[in-house]
Amino acid sequence: MKSTSYSTMHVAIIMDGNGRWATARGLPRLAGHRAGADAVRRTVEAAASLGVGALTLYAFSSDNWKRPPAEVAGLMQLFQMYLEAQMSECVEHGIRVELIGRRDRLDPELLSTIKDTERETARGRALYLRIAVDYSARDSILRAAAHMDSRADVTRERFARLLDGPPDVDLLIRTGGEQRLSDFLLWECAYAELVFTARMWPDFSREDLESALLAYGGRERRFGGLPGVNGKCLISADFL
């Protein structure tokens, strides 16, 4: 499959299956999360090399605080280690990193690392990497609604800007076999093409990303219109 550029394309991924991947191998769940961190690195590299414009990864939902404290602590430690290890690579390859989600419940040391990463990578233009941590789409929508001026005209465009995101999601991928959005980018995914795969996240590869992009390229996005009017998904011909 040829490399090409999708500089206006927004891909979002629900990274599911770490725990089940570990359990199937007789390993502790945290081992699955460590393997999942390697899959993050591979996927970011693949997305950047393919020229994807924006990549949003669902790393930790607001509901994930319900998990055992030891698992939560391990996840947060892995997140901090990933940022520290990959910051220089992101700077070198022009990858801008940003956290979306709440920050007030994060450990101060982790929050400091996040701020350092965002500052150091702010000039990146090759890929806009957003990592959703302590994130809830419903909460995000509620916060945006609370900031709307009731006296002003409410439009979709104005509201979307309050969500502080890139353009709407073009392609959403969920690994692990489940087929639901799980409170992830609900507004932004209104017309997203959805690809569900049974592949557990630690096993997700460049080939899996390319396969999802290929499936996306074969679909017709009508946005409520008639078939054949809006055309196929916007993908460069040399990708297909």
Q: Domains of the chain: which residue ranges?
A: 6-239
10 Å Cβ neighbour count for 151? 5
Examine the pLDDT at 34 and tell me if it is beyond 80.
Answer: yes
Backbone dihedral angles phi then psi of residue 23, each to the nearest 5 degrees = -60, -40
Instruction: Domain 6-239: give its CATH architecture.
Output: 3-Layer(aba) Sandwich (3.40)
Contact predicate 21/203, CB 8 Å: yes
The model's pTM is 0.89
Which positions are annotated as active-site residues?
A: 16, 64
Examine the pLDDT at 228 and tell me if it is beyond 70.
Answer: no
Distance CA 169, CA 64 (A): 23
- The sign of the dihedral angle between the CA atoms of 118, 124, 127, 234 is positive
Tell me which of 199-203, 210-214, 215-219 is least confident.
215-219
Distance CA 55, CA 167 (A): 11
Examine the pLDDT at 166 and tell me if it is beyond 70.
Answer: yes
